Amino acid sequence: MISLKKVTSLILLTPLLWSCNATDTPKNPVKEMPVVKKTTDYFLFGSYSPNSSRKILATVESKRDIKLTANLHGVIEKIFVKIGDHVQNGQPLARYKLSNDVAQISYDNALLNLQSTRNATNNALKAAEIALNSAKREYAQLKVTQAQNIKLSFDALDSAIIGTDTAAKSFIDWADRLIAVSDTGNFGEFSQFSDIIGFNNSVDKLDIKNNIKNTQNQRKALLLEKENILDLSQNQPQLLAISQKQLEILRSIRGVANDVIELIRKTPVTAAFSQAQKNAFEQQAMRYEAQVSGAFNQLNTIREKSIAMKKGVTGALLSAENRIKNAEANIDLIKSKNAAQIAQASSRVRIAGKSKKDLVVRAPFSGKVTDVFVSEFQNVNPGIPLVGLLSESESKTKITAQLSETEYQLLMSTEAVIQAVLPDGKKIQLKKEEFAEALNPLTQKTKVILTPVNPINIPIGSVITLKLPLQKTTDSTLVPITAISFEPAGTEVLKALPDGKTVRQGVIVGAVKGNAIEVLQGLSVGDVIVTHRNQIISGEVIDISNLIEKKEIPTKKNDTPTNHKENNKIESDESARKEK
Protein backbone atom coordinates (compact mmCIF):
# COMPACT_ATOMS: atom_id res chain seq x y z
CA MET A 1 0.00 0.00 0.00
CA ILE A 2 1.10 3.40 -0.69
CA SER A 3 1.75 5.33 2.40
CA LEU A 4 -0.14 8.48 3.28
CA LYS A 5 3.09 10.47 3.01
CA LYS A 6 3.65 9.39 -0.60
CA VAL A 7 0.10 10.15 -1.56
CA THR A 8 0.39 13.58 -0.10
CA SER A 9 3.66 14.21 -1.96
CA LEU A 10 2.10 13.05 -5.23
CA ILE A 11 -0.82 15.41 -4.81
CA LEU A 12 1.51 18.33 -4.19
CA LEU A 13 3.77 17.52 -7.16
CA THR A 14 0.96 17.05 -9.71
CA PRO A 15 0.26 20.76 -10.41
CA LEU A 16 3.98 21.41 -10.67
CA LEU A 17 4.43 18.65 -13.22
CA TRP A 18 1.42 19.88 -15.15
CA SER A 19 2.85 23.38 -15.20
CA CYS A 20 6.18 22.10 -16.51
CA ASN A 21 4.44 20.07 -19.13
CA ALA A 22 2.45 23.11 -20.20
CA THR A 23 5.62 25.20 -20.38
CA ASP A 24 7.47 22.66 -22.46
CA THR A 25 4.61 22.18 -24.87
CA PRO A 26 4.50 25.22 -27.25
CA LYS A 27 1.11 26.71 -28.12
CA ASN A 28 0.10 27.61 -31.64
CA PRO A 29 1.07 31.32 -32.15
CA VAL A 30 -1.84 33.80 -32.66
CA LYS A 31 -1.56 35.62 -36.00
CA GLU A 32 -2.03 39.40 -35.65
CA MET A 33 -4.07 41.12 -38.34
CA PRO A 34 -2.00 43.54 -40.43
CA VAL A 35 -2.79 47.24 -39.92
CA VAL A 36 -4.44 48.79 -42.99
CA LYS A 37 -3.15 52.30 -43.62
CA LYS A 38 -5.37 54.63 -45.58
CA THR A 39 -4.06 57.16 -48.04
CA THR A 40 -5.42 60.70 -47.66
CA ASP A 41 -4.29 64.31 -47.78
CA TYR A 42 -2.74 65.83 -44.67
CA PHE A 43 -0.61 68.82 -43.71
CA LEU A 44 1.55 70.08 -40.88
CA PHE A 45 -0.14 72.71 -38.73
CA GLY A 46 1.70 76.00 -39.09
CA SER A 47 2.76 75.41 -42.71
CA TYR A 48 -0.62 75.33 -44.47
CA SER A 49 -1.11 77.79 -47.32
CA PRO A 50 -4.61 78.28 -48.88
CA ASN A 51 -5.16 77.21 -52.45
CA SER A 52 -3.81 79.67 -54.99
CA SER A 53 -7.10 80.01 -56.85
CA ARG A 54 -10.86 79.63 -56.58
CA LYS A 55 -12.89 78.02 -59.39
CA ILE A 56 -15.91 79.90 -60.74
CA LEU A 57 -18.23 78.79 -63.55
CA ALA A 58 -18.73 81.23 -66.42
CA THR A 59 -20.70 81.28 -69.68
CA VAL A 60 -19.52 81.98 -73.23
CA GLU A 61 -21.68 84.60 -74.97
CA SER A 62 -21.55 86.62 -78.15
CA LYS A 63 -20.64 90.28 -78.02
CA ARG A 64 -23.45 90.98 -80.45
CA ASP A 65 -26.05 88.89 -78.66
CA ILE A 66 -28.58 91.63 -77.93
CA LYS A 67 -32.18 91.99 -76.83
CA LEU A 68 -34.42 94.31 -78.83
CA THR A 69 -36.75 96.11 -76.40
CA ALA A 70 -40.03 97.95 -76.80
CA ASN A 71 -39.78 101.73 -77.13
CA LEU A 72 -43.43 102.65 -76.56
CA HIS A 73 -46.66 101.55 -74.91
CA GLY A 74 -48.83 99.37 -77.10
CA VAL A 75 -49.92 95.93 -78.25
CA ILE A 76 -47.91 93.46 -80.35
CA GLU A 77 -50.15 92.92 -83.36
CA LYS A 78 -47.92 90.54 -85.34
CA ILE A 79 -44.69 88.59 -84.85
CA PHE A 80 -42.93 87.71 -88.11
CA VAL A 81 -40.07 85.47 -86.88
CA LYS A 82 -39.45 82.48 -84.64
CA ILE A 83 -36.45 81.14 -82.76
CA GLY A 84 -33.71 79.95 -85.14
CA ASP A 85 -34.73 82.14 -88.08
CA HIS A 86 -32.00 83.95 -90.00
CA VAL A 87 -32.85 87.60 -90.67
CA GLN A 88 -31.27 90.39 -92.69
CA ASN A 89 -30.51 93.94 -91.65
CA GLY A 90 -33.77 95.94 -91.65
CA GLN A 91 -36.02 92.88 -91.90
CA PRO A 92 -39.33 93.25 -89.95
CA LEU A 93 -39.45 91.23 -86.77
CA ALA A 94 -42.70 92.40 -85.18
CA ARG A 95 -45.35 95.12 -85.51
CA TYR A 96 -47.29 97.18 -83.00
CA LYS A 97 -51.00 97.76 -83.26
CA LEU A 98 -52.00 101.24 -84.61
CA SER A 99 -53.15 103.82 -82.05
CA ASN A 100 -55.26 105.89 -84.50
CA ASP A 101 -56.21 109.40 -83.19
CA VAL A 102 -54.28 109.06 -79.97
CA ALA A 103 -51.03 108.54 -81.87
CA GLN A 104 -51.76 111.48 -84.19
CA ILE A 105 -52.46 113.81 -81.27
CA SER A 106 -49.32 112.65 -79.51
CA TYR A 107 -47.25 113.21 -82.64
CA ASP A 108 -48.66 116.71 -83.25
CA ASN A 109 -48.12 117.69 -79.63
CA ALA A 110 -44.57 116.43 -79.82
CA LEU A 111 -43.91 118.54 -82.92
CA LEU A 112 -45.32 121.65 -81.26
CA ASN A 113 -43.27 121.01 -78.16
CA LEU A 114 -40.13 120.59 -80.28
CA GLN A 115 -40.69 123.89 -82.08
CA SER A 116 -41.42 125.68 -78.81
CA THR A 117 -38.30 124.23 -77.26
CA ARG A 118 -36.17 125.37 -80.18
CA ASN A 119 -37.58 128.92 -80.01
CA ALA A 120 -37.03 129.13 -76.25
CA THR A 121 -33.51 127.80 -76.47
CA ASN A 122 -32.62 130.16 -79.32
CA ASN A 123 -33.93 133.15 -77.36
CA ALA A 124 -31.99 132.13 -74.26
CA LEU A 125 -28.83 131.71 -76.31
CA LYS A 126 -29.23 135.11 -77.99
CA ALA A 127 -29.75 136.80 -74.63
CA ALA A 128 -26.59 135.16 -73.31
CA GLU A 129 -24.61 136.24 -76.36
CA ILE A 130 -25.86 139.83 -75.96
CA ALA A 131 -24.75 139.77 -72.31
CA LEU A 132 -21.33 138.51 -73.38
CA ASN A 133 -20.87 141.24 -76.03
CA SER A 134 -21.99 143.88 -73.54
CA ALA A 135 -19.46 142.62 -70.98
CA LYS A 136 -16.68 142.71 -73.58
CA ARG A 137 -17.54 146.29 -74.63
CA GLU A 138 -17.69 147.38 -71.00
CA TYR A 139 -14.29 145.83 -70.37
CA ALA A 140 -12.71 147.55 -73.40
CA GLN A 141 -14.17 150.94 -72.46
CA LEU A 142 -13.20 150.52 -68.82
CA LYS A 143 -9.68 149.59 -69.82
CA VAL A 144 -9.24 152.81 -71.83
CA THR A 145 -10.86 155.02 -69.18
CA GLN A 146 -8.92 153.56 -66.31
CA ALA A 147 -5.68 153.79 -68.24
CA GLN A 148 -6.30 157.52 -68.71
CA ASN A 149 -7.12 157.95 -65.01
CA ILE A 150 -3.95 156.17 -63.98
CA LYS A 151 -1.88 158.31 -66.34
CA LEU A 152 -3.34 161.51 -64.91
CA SER A 153 -2.77 160.30 -61.38
CA PHE A 154 0.86 159.38 -61.95
CA ASP A 155 1.51 162.56 -63.95
CA ALA A 156 0.33 164.46 -60.87
CA LEU A 157 2.64 162.36 -58.73
CA ASP A 158 5.60 163.16 -61.02
CA SER A 159 4.82 166.89 -60.80
CA ALA A 160 4.49 166.65 -57.02
CA ILE A 161 7.95 165.06 -56.77
CA ILE A 162 9.44 167.98 -58.74
CA GLY A 163 7.56 170.57 -56.65
CA THR A 164 8.53 169.08 -53.32
CA ASP A 165 12.14 168.85 -54.42
CA THR A 166 12.11 172.64 -54.92
CA ALA A 167 10.98 173.12 -51.31
CA ALA A 168 13.66 170.71 -50.12
CA LYS A 169 16.39 172.46 -52.09
CA SER A 170 15.34 175.92 -50.80
CA PHE A 171 15.59 174.88 -47.16
CA ILE A 172 18.91 173.05 -47.64
CA ASP A 173 20.46 176.14 -49.30
CA TRP A 174 19.12 178.46 -46.57
CA ALA A 175 20.35 176.19 -43.74
CA ASP A 176 23.75 175.86 -45.48
CA ARG A 177 24.16 179.63 -45.53
CA LEU A 178 22.84 180.03 -42.01
CA ILE A 179 25.14 177.67 -40.14
CA ALA A 180 27.92 177.25 -42.72
CA VAL A 181 27.43 173.61 -43.57
CA SER A 182 29.69 173.78 -46.60
CA ASP A 183 33.43 173.97 -45.94
CA THR A 184 33.99 176.72 -48.49
CA GLY A 185 31.75 179.30 -50.09
CA ASN A 186 30.27 182.77 -49.74
CA PHE A 187 27.44 182.85 -47.29
CA GLY A 188 26.33 186.36 -48.22
CA GLU A 189 24.26 188.20 -45.62
CA PHE A 190 24.51 185.28 -43.17
CA SER A 191 28.32 185.17 -43.02
CA GLN A 192 28.47 187.22 -39.83
CA PHE A 193 25.86 185.01 -38.12
CA SER A 194 27.05 181.55 -39.15
CA ASP A 195 29.49 181.47 -36.28
CA ILE A 196 27.17 183.19 -33.78
CA ILE A 197 24.10 180.92 -34.14
CA GLY A 198 24.66 177.86 -31.99
CA PHE A 199 28.05 178.96 -30.66
CA ASN A 200 26.93 177.89 -27.20
CA ASN A 201 25.78 174.41 -28.39
CA SER A 202 28.51 173.18 -30.69
CA VAL A 203 27.53 169.47 -30.41
CA ASP A 204 23.94 170.01 -31.61
CA LYS A 205 25.17 172.37 -34.33
CA LEU A 206 27.62 169.75 -35.58
CA ASP A 207 24.83 167.09 -35.65
CA ILE A 208 22.64 169.46 -37.67
CA LYS A 209 25.46 170.07 -40.17
CA ASN A 210 25.98 166.32 -40.59
CA ASN A 211 22.24 165.72 -41.09
CA ILE A 212 22.10 168.47 -43.72
CA LYS A 213 25.08 166.95 -45.55
CA ASN A 214 23.44 163.49 -45.51
CA THR A 215 20.21 164.96 -46.85
CA GLN A 216 22.13 166.76 -49.62
CA ASN A 217 23.77 163.47 -50.61
CA GLN A 218 20.43 161.63 -50.63
CA ARG A 219 18.88 164.30 -52.79
CA LYS A 220 21.74 164.24 -55.30
CA ALA A 221 21.54 160.42 -55.53
CA LEU A 222 17.78 160.57 -56.11
CA LEU A 223 18.19 163.22 -58.85
CA LEU A 224 20.76 161.00 -60.57
CA GLU A 225 18.42 158.01 -60.36
CA LYS A 226 15.59 160.02 -61.92
CA GLU A 227 17.80 161.13 -64.80
CA ASN A 228 18.63 157.50 -65.65
CA ILE A 229 14.95 156.54 -66.05
CA LEU A 230 13.38 157.43 -69.40
CA ASP A 231 9.81 158.72 -69.26
CA LEU A 232 9.42 158.29 -65.54
CA SER A 233 5.70 159.12 -65.64
CA GLN A 234 5.05 155.97 -67.72
CA ASN A 235 7.07 153.74 -65.40
CA GLN A 236 4.64 153.46 -62.51
CA PRO A 237 6.59 151.08 -60.21
CA GLN A 238 9.75 153.25 -60.48
CA LEU A 239 7.73 156.39 -59.95
CA LEU A 240 6.21 154.98 -56.76
CA ALA A 241 9.66 153.95 -55.50
CA ILE A 242 11.16 157.41 -56.18
CA SER A 243 8.20 159.15 -54.53
CA GLN A 244 8.76 157.02 -51.42
CA LYS A 245 12.45 158.04 -51.35
CA GLN A 246 11.43 161.70 -51.83
CA LEU A 247 9.12 161.38 -48.81
CA GLU A 248 12.01 160.05 -46.74
CA ILE A 249 14.16 163.05 -47.75
CA LEU A 250 11.36 165.49 -46.87
CA ARG A 251 10.85 163.75 -43.54
CA SER A 252 14.58 164.15 -42.79
CA ILE A 253 14.53 167.84 -43.84
CA ARG A 254 11.52 168.48 -41.63
CA GLY A 255 13.43 167.08 -38.68
CA VAL A 256 16.49 169.20 -39.50
CA ALA A 257 14.29 172.30 -39.74
CA ASN A 258 12.94 171.68 -36.26
CA ASP A 259 16.49 171.18 -35.00
CA VAL A 260 17.56 174.52 -36.58
CA ILE A 261 14.61 176.29 -34.95
CA GLU A 262 15.60 174.86 -31.59
CA LEU A 263 19.26 175.81 -32.18
CA ILE A 264 18.27 179.46 -32.92
CA ARG A 265 16.08 179.61 -29.85
CA LYS A 266 18.93 178.40 -27.62
CA THR A 267 21.40 180.96 -29.02
CA PRO A 268 21.69 183.80 -26.48
CA VAL A 269 21.25 187.47 -27.44
CA THR A 270 24.54 189.39 -27.62
CA ALA A 271 25.79 192.73 -28.86
CA ALA A 272 26.43 191.11 -32.26
CA PHE A 273 23.13 189.14 -32.26
CA SER A 274 20.12 191.15 -31.23
CA GLN A 275 16.71 189.87 -30.19
CA ALA A 276 15.17 191.20 -33.39
CA GLN A 277 17.71 189.30 -35.49
CA LYS A 278 17.09 186.17 -33.45
CA ASN A 279 13.33 186.48 -33.98
CA ALA A 280 13.81 187.06 -37.71
CA PHE A 281 15.93 183.91 -38.15
CA GLU A 282 13.49 181.83 -36.05
CA GLN A 283 10.56 182.99 -38.20
CA GLN A 284 12.47 182.12 -41.41
CA ALA A 285 13.27 178.66 -40.05
CA MET A 286 9.63 178.09 -39.08
CA ARG A 287 8.49 179.25 -42.51
CA TYR A 288 10.83 176.77 -44.25
CA GLU A 289 9.71 174.02 -41.89
CA ALA A 290 6.07 174.76 -42.79
CA GLN A 291 6.90 174.66 -46.51
CA VAL A 292 8.68 171.30 -46.17
CA SER A 293 5.82 169.84 -44.08
CA GLY A 294 3.30 171.03 -46.65
CA ALA A 295 5.36 169.51 -49.47
CA PHE A 296 5.58 166.23 -47.53
CA ASN A 297 1.83 166.06 -46.93
CA GLN A 298 1.05 166.99 -50.53
CA LEU A 299 3.37 164.33 -51.98
CA ASN A 300 2.14 161.68 -49.57
CA THR A 301 -1.51 162.41 -50.40
CA ILE A 302 -0.94 162.29 -54.15
CA ARG A 303 1.10 159.11 -53.81
CA GLU A 304 -1.63 157.36 -51.79
CA LYS A 305 -4.23 158.42 -54.36
CA SER A 306 -2.10 156.99 -57.18
CA ILE A 307 -1.75 153.68 -55.36
CA ALA A 308 -5.48 153.57 -54.62
CA MET A 309 -6.25 154.45 -58.22
CA LYS A 310 -4.07 151.64 -59.51
CA LYS A 311 -5.64 149.10 -57.13
CA GLY A 312 -9.11 150.29 -58.02
CA VAL A 313 -8.39 150.01 -61.72
CA THR A 314 -6.99 146.51 -61.25
CA GLY A 315 -10.07 145.49 -59.29
CA ALA A 316 -12.44 147.05 -61.81
CA LEU A 317 -10.72 145.34 -64.73
CA LEU A 318 -10.70 142.01 -62.87
CA SER A 319 -14.40 142.37 -62.15
CA ALA A 320 -15.06 143.11 -65.82
CA GLU A 321 -13.00 140.08 -66.86
CA ASN A 322 -15.02 137.91 -64.45
CA ARG A 323 -18.24 139.17 -65.99
CA ILE A 324 -16.93 138.12 -69.40
CA LYS A 325 -15.97 134.66 -68.11
CA ASN A 326 -19.34 134.26 -66.41
CA ALA A 327 -21.11 135.24 -69.61
CA GLU A 328 -19.06 132.71 -71.61
CA ALA A 329 -19.75 129.99 -69.04
CA ASN A 330 -23.44 130.86 -69.13
CA ILE A 331 -23.45 130.46 -72.91
CA ASP A 332 -21.84 127.02 -72.61
CA LEU A 333 -24.39 126.03 -69.97
CA ILE A 334 -27.30 127.28 -72.08
CA LYS A 335 -25.98 125.41 -75.11
CA SER A 336 -25.74 122.22 -73.07
CA LYS A 337 -29.25 122.65 -71.68
CA ASN A 338 -30.57 123.54 -75.12
CA ALA A 339 -29.05 120.42 -76.62
CA ALA A 340 -30.57 118.25 -73.89
CA GLN A 341 -34.01 119.86 -74.20
CA ILE A 342 -34.02 119.63 -78.01
CA ALA A 343 -32.83 116.02 -77.86
CA GLN A 344 -35.60 115.17 -75.41
CA ALA A 345 -38.21 116.89 -77.54
CA SER A 346 -36.85 115.22 -80.69
CA SER A 347 -37.01 111.87 -78.92
CA ARG A 348 -40.68 112.45 -78.14
CA VAL A 349 -41.32 113.32 -81.78
CA ARG A 350 -39.44 110.23 -82.93
CA ILE A 351 -41.34 107.96 -80.58
CA ALA A 352 -44.66 109.55 -81.49
CA GLY A 353 -43.74 109.31 -85.16
CA LYS A 354 -43.04 105.62 -84.84
CA SER A 355 -46.39 105.15 -83.15
CA LYS A 356 -48.06 107.01 -86.00
CA LYS A 357 -46.20 105.79 -89.04
CA ASP A 358 -43.50 103.19 -88.48
CA LEU A 359 -44.85 100.64 -86.00
CA VAL A 360 -42.53 97.87 -87.22
CA VAL A 361 -39.65 96.48 -85.16
CA ARG A 362 -36.75 95.83 -87.55
CA ALA A 363 -33.49 93.91 -87.25
CA PRO A 364 -30.56 96.32 -86.66
CA PHE A 365 -28.17 93.84 -88.31
CA SER A 366 -28.13 90.46 -90.02
CA GLY A 367 -28.16 87.50 -87.68
CA LYS A 368 -30.02 84.68 -86.02
CA VAL A 369 -33.10 84.95 -83.79
CA THR A 370 -32.14 83.45 -80.43
CA ASP A 371 -35.35 84.13 -78.50
CA VAL A 372 -38.85 85.61 -78.80
CA PHE A 373 -39.95 87.06 -75.47
CA VAL A 374 -43.50 88.22 -76.34
CA SER A 375 -46.57 86.85 -78.05
CA GLU A 376 -49.12 88.41 -80.36
CA PHE A 377 -51.73 90.72 -78.79
CA GLN A 378 -49.56 91.13 -75.71
CA ASN A 379 -49.39 94.55 -74.06
CA VAL A 380 -45.85 95.91 -73.78
CA ASN A 381 -44.22 98.88 -72.10
CA PRO A 382 -40.95 100.65 -72.97
CA GLY A 383 -37.98 98.51 -71.98
CA ILE A 384 -39.76 95.12 -72.27
CA PRO A 385 -37.58 92.62 -74.26
CA LEU A 386 -39.16 91.64 -77.59
CA VAL A 387 -36.65 89.59 -79.61
CA GLY A 388 -33.14 88.21 -79.00
CA LEU A 389 -30.78 88.54 -81.95
CA LEU A 390 -27.28 87.12 -82.48
CA SER A 391 -25.00 88.65 -85.10
CA GLU A 392 -23.59 86.25 -87.67
CA SER A 393 -20.87 88.62 -88.82
CA GLU A 394 -19.42 89.10 -85.34
CA SER A 395 -17.15 86.24 -84.27
CA LYS A 396 -15.88 87.78 -81.04
CA THR A 397 -17.08 86.30 -77.79
CA LYS A 398 -17.38 87.47 -74.19
CA ILE A 399 -17.30 85.54 -70.94
CA THR A 400 -19.89 86.41 -68.30
CA ALA A 401 -19.92 85.25 -64.69
CA GLN A 402 -21.99 85.90 -61.58
CA LEU A 403 -19.70 86.58 -58.61
CA SER A 404 -20.36 86.83 -54.90
CA GLU A 405 -19.05 89.82 -53.00
CA THR A 406 -15.94 87.91 -51.88
CA GLU A 407 -15.28 86.62 -55.40
CA TYR A 408 -15.85 90.10 -56.82
CA GLN A 409 -13.27 91.55 -54.42
CA LEU A 410 -10.80 88.81 -55.44
CA LEU A 411 -11.29 89.68 -59.11
CA MET A 412 -10.86 93.39 -58.46
CA SER A 413 -7.63 92.80 -56.52
CA THR A 414 -6.02 90.65 -59.24
CA GLU A 415 -3.99 91.78 -62.23
CA ALA A 416 -5.53 92.36 -65.63
CA VAL A 417 -5.20 88.74 -66.90
CA ILE A 418 -7.41 85.95 -65.47
CA GLN A 419 -6.82 82.24 -66.09
CA ALA A 420 -9.68 80.04 -67.39
CA VAL A 421 -10.11 76.39 -68.42
CA LEU A 422 -12.23 75.36 -71.43
CA PRO A 423 -14.36 72.20 -71.43
CA ASP A 424 -11.62 70.34 -73.35
CA GLY A 425 -9.05 71.23 -70.67
CA LYS A 426 -7.32 73.91 -72.69
CA LYS A 427 -6.21 76.92 -70.66
CA ILE A 428 -6.86 80.46 -71.88
CA GLN A 429 -6.31 83.97 -70.57
CA LEU A 430 -9.04 86.56 -70.05
CA LYS A 431 -8.88 90.28 -69.40
CA LYS A 432 -11.29 92.32 -67.33
CA GLU A 433 -13.55 94.39 -69.56
CA GLU A 434 -16.46 95.81 -67.59
CA PHE A 435 -18.60 95.37 -64.52
CA ALA A 436 -21.96 95.88 -66.14
CA GLU A 437 -24.42 95.36 -63.32
CA ALA A 438 -24.77 96.30 -59.69
CA LEU A 439 -25.28 93.74 -56.94
CA ASN A 440 -28.42 91.70 -57.58
CA PRO A 441 -30.53 91.95 -54.40
CA LEU A 442 -32.03 88.49 -54.97
CA THR A 443 -28.90 86.48 -55.77
CA GLN A 444 -26.46 88.80 -53.92
CA LYS A 445 -24.12 88.48 -56.91
CA THR A 446 -22.61 90.86 -59.46
CA LYS A 447 -22.36 90.22 -63.18
CA VAL A 448 -18.91 90.78 -64.70
CA ILE A 449 -17.77 90.52 -68.32
CA LEU A 450 -14.35 89.21 -69.40
CA THR A 451 -12.82 89.07 -72.88
CA PRO A 452 -10.40 86.39 -74.20
CA VAL A 453 -6.93 87.77 -74.83
CA ASN A 454 -6.73 85.61 -77.98
CA PRO A 455 -9.70 84.50 -80.16
CA ILE A 456 -11.27 81.19 -79.11
CA ASN A 457 -13.37 78.76 -81.14
CA ILE A 458 -16.05 77.52 -78.80
CA PRO A 459 -19.84 77.31 -79.16
CA ILE A 460 -21.94 80.10 -77.70
CA GLY A 461 -23.48 78.96 -74.43
CA SER A 462 -20.57 76.76 -73.37
CA VAL A 463 -19.59 76.75 -69.71
CA ILE A 464 -15.96 77.31 -68.75
CA THR A 465 -14.13 77.51 -65.42
CA LEU A 466 -12.54 80.74 -64.15
CA LYS A 467 -9.62 80.51 -61.75
CA LEU A 468 -9.64 83.54 -59.47
CA PRO A 469 -6.24 83.95 -57.78
CA LEU A 470 -6.34 84.11 -54.00
CA GLN A 471 -3.99 86.25 -52.02
CA LYS A 472 -1.21 84.19 -50.48
CA THR A 473 -0.95 84.34 -46.71
CA THR A 474 1.78 83.62 -44.20
CA ASP A 475 -0.67 83.14 -41.29
CA SER A 476 0.52 79.98 -39.51
CA THR A 477 -2.82 79.55 -37.71
CA LEU A 478 -4.83 78.74 -40.88
CA VAL A 479 -6.25 75.33 -41.74
CA PRO A 480 -8.57 74.42 -44.62
CA ILE A 481 -12.26 74.50 -43.79
CA THR A 482 -12.53 70.88 -44.97
CA ALA A 483 -10.33 69.83 -42.02
CA ILE A 484 -12.83 71.21 -39.49
CA SER A 485 -15.78 69.26 -38.09
CA PHE A 486 -18.45 71.19 -36.19
CA GLU A 487 -19.77 68.71 -33.61
CA PRO A 488 -22.37 69.27 -30.84
CA ALA A 489 -19.61 69.06 -28.25
CA GLY A 490 -17.44 71.57 -30.07
CA THR A 491 -15.19 72.09 -33.08
CA GLU A 492 -12.59 69.43 -33.81
CA VAL A 493 -10.01 68.12 -36.31
CA LEU A 494 -8.40 64.72 -36.89
CA LYS A 495 -4.79 64.63 -35.78
CA ALA A 496 -2.38 61.84 -36.76
CA LEU A 497 -0.06 60.39 -34.13
CA PRO A 498 3.53 59.42 -35.03
CA ASP A 499 2.36 55.90 -35.97
CA GLY A 500 -0.33 57.33 -38.28
CA LYS A 501 -3.26 56.60 -36.01
CA THR A 502 -5.86 59.41 -36.06
CA VAL A 503 -7.44 60.88 -32.98
CA ARG A 504 -10.05 63.61 -32.49
CA GLN A 505 -8.60 66.91 -31.34
CA GLY A 506 -10.80 69.72 -30.03
CA VAL A 507 -9.92 73.22 -31.25
CA ILE A 508 -11.14 76.81 -30.93
CA VAL A 509 -11.50 78.53 -34.28
CA GLY A 510 -11.56 82.20 -35.31
CA ALA A 511 -12.29 84.08 -38.53
CA VAL A 512 -12.89 82.48 -41.93
CA LYS A 513 -10.46 83.66 -44.61
CA GLY A 514 -11.46 82.49 -48.07
CA ASN A 515 -11.42 78.68 -48.01
CA ALA A 516 -9.44 78.58 -44.76
CA ILE A 517 -10.20 79.24 -41.09
CA GLU A 518 -8.09 80.36 -38.12
CA VAL A 519 -7.32 77.92 -35.29
CA LEU A 520 -6.77 79.88 -32.10
CA GLN A 521 -6.25 77.04 -29.57
CA GLY A 522 -5.89 73.28 -29.46
CA LEU A 523 -3.01 72.61 -31.92
CA SER A 524 0.76 72.93 -31.84
CA VAL A 525 3.07 73.77 -34.71
CA GLY A 526 4.05 70.55 -36.49
CA ASP A 527 0.87 68.58 -35.68
CA VAL A 528 -0.19 66.32 -38.56
CA ILE A 529 -3.78 67.22 -39.52
CA VAL A 530 -6.07 65.37 -41.95
CA THR A 531 -7.11 67.72 -44.76
CA HIS A 532 -10.57 66.21 -45.39
CA ARG A 533 -12.22 65.40 -42.07
CA ASN A 534 -15.17 63.55 -43.60
CA GLN A 535 -12.94 60.99 -45.38
CA ILE A 536 -11.34 59.45 -42.26
CA ILE A 537 -12.91 58.01 -39.10
CA SER A 538 -11.24 58.60 -35.76
CA GLY A 539 -8.98 55.68 -34.91
CA GLU A 540 -8.11 54.78 -38.49
CA VAL A 541 -4.45 54.77 -39.50
CA ILE A 542 -3.27 56.91 -42.37
CA ASP A 543 -0.07 56.62 -44.37
CA ILE A 544 2.38 59.35 -43.27
CA SER A 545 5.51 57.53 -44.44
CA ASN A 546 6.56 60.56 -46.48
CA LEU A 547 6.74 62.64 -43.31
CA ILE A 548 8.64 59.91 -41.47
CA GLU A 549 11.17 59.55 -44.29
CA LYS A 550 11.66 63.33 -44.35
CA LYS A 551 11.71 63.42 -40.52
CA GLU A 552 9.16 66.17 -40.55
CA ILE A 553 6.80 64.62 -38.02
CA PRO A 554 7.46 65.47 -34.33
CA THR A 555 8.98 62.56 -32.35
CA LYS A 556 7.52 63.62 -28.98
CA LYS A 557 4.06 62.51 -28.03
CA ASN A 558 1.21 64.90 -28.43
CA ASP A 559 0.77 66.92 -25.25
CA THR A 560 -2.23 68.93 -26.40
CA PRO A 561 -5.28 67.79 -24.40
CA THR A 562 -8.57 67.15 -26.17
CA ASN A 563 -11.95 68.09 -24.84
CA HIS A 564 -13.84 65.15 -26.45
CA LYS A 565 -14.92 61.97 -24.79
CA GLU A 566 -14.20 59.74 -27.78
CA ASN A 567 -10.49 60.63 -27.75
CA ASN A 568 -10.32 59.75 -24.03
CA LYS A 569 -12.12 56.51 -24.75
CA ILE A 570 -9.67 55.58 -27.50
CA GLU A 571 -6.71 56.27 -25.22
CA SER A 572 -8.24 54.23 -22.36
CA ASP A 573 -8.96 51.32 -24.74
CA GLU A 574 -5.36 51.46 -25.92
CA SER A 575 -4.09 51.34 -22.30
CA ALA A 576 -6.39 48.39 -21.46
CA ARG A 577 -5.15 46.41 -24.46
CA LYS A 578 -1.52 46.95 -23.44
CA GLU A 579 -2.22 45.85 -19.84
CA LYS A 580 -3.96 42.66 -21.06
Most confident of 13-17, 247-251, 549-553: 247-251
Give CA 70 to chain center in angstroms. Answer: 40
Q: Tell me, what's the pLDDT at 502?
A: 95
Of 387, 350, 336, nearest in space to 72 by CA: 350
Q: Tell me, what's the pLDDT at 507?
A: 95
Proportion of the chain above pLDDT 70, given as a percent: 77
Q: Tell me, what's the pLDDT at 557?
A: 41
β-pairing verdict for 367-372 and 86-87: antiparallel
The DSSP annotation for 188-213 comes to GGGTTTTTTTTTT-HHHHHHHHHHHH
The one-letter amino acid at 355: S
Q: Tell me, what's the pLDDT at 411?
A: 75
Q: Tell me, what's the pLDDT at 233?
A: 61
pLDDT tens per residue across span 135-171 = 888 888 887 887 777 778 778 888 888 888 888 888 8
- CB contact burial 366-401 (16+ within 10 A = b; e otherwise): ebbbbebebeeeeebeeebebbbbbbeeeeebbbeb
Q: Tell me, what's the pLDDT at 179?
A: 79
Q: Tell me, what's the pLDDT at 433?
A: 63
Range scoring the smallest mean pLDDT among 213-217, 412-416, 493-497: 412-416
Q: Tell me, what's the pLDDT at 564?
A: 40
Average pLDDT, integer, range 198-215: 86
**pLDDT beyond 90 at 395:** no
**pLDDT beyond 60 at 409:** yes
Average pLDDT, integer, range 276-292: 88
Average pLDDT, integer, range 274-287: 88
What CA–CA distance (Å, rounded) separates 102 from 105?
5
Q: What value does the mean pLDDT of the chain take?
A: 78
Q: Tell me, what's the pLDDT at 29?
A: 54
Q: Which domains does the chain have, with CATH numbers?
A: 52-63+396-472 (2.40.30.170), 133-332 (1.20.58), 474-579 (2.40.420.20)
**pLDDT beyond 80 at 248:** yes
The pTM score is 0.35
pLDDT tens per residue across span 482-516 = 999 998 889 999 999 999 999 999 999 998 877 78
Cβ–Cβ < 8 Å for 493, 484: yes
Max CA pair span of the chain? 197
Cβ–Cβ < 8 Å for 363, 93: yes
273: left (phi over 0), alpha (psi -120 to 50) or beta: beta
Q: Which long-range CB contacts under 8 A does 305-312 form with residues at least 24 apart?
A: 305/153, 305/156, 306/150, 306/153, 306/154, 306/156, 306/157, 306/236, 306/239, 306/240, 307/240, 309/149, 309/150, 309/153, 310/150, 310/153, 310/236, 312/146
Cβ contacts of residue 178 below 8 Å, gap of 6+?
A: 190, 193, 194, 197, 260, 281, 285
Q: Residue 541's pLDDT band (boundaries 50, 70, 90)?
A: very high
**pLDDT beyond 90 at 182:** no
Proportion of the chain above pLDDT 90, given as a percent: 12
Cβ–Cβ < 8 Å for 558, 525: no
Q: Residue 417's pLDDT band (boundaries 50, 70, 90)?
A: confident
Higher pLDDT, 298 or 476: 298
**pLDDT beyond 50 at 559:** no
Cβ–Cβ < 8 Å for 480, 486: no
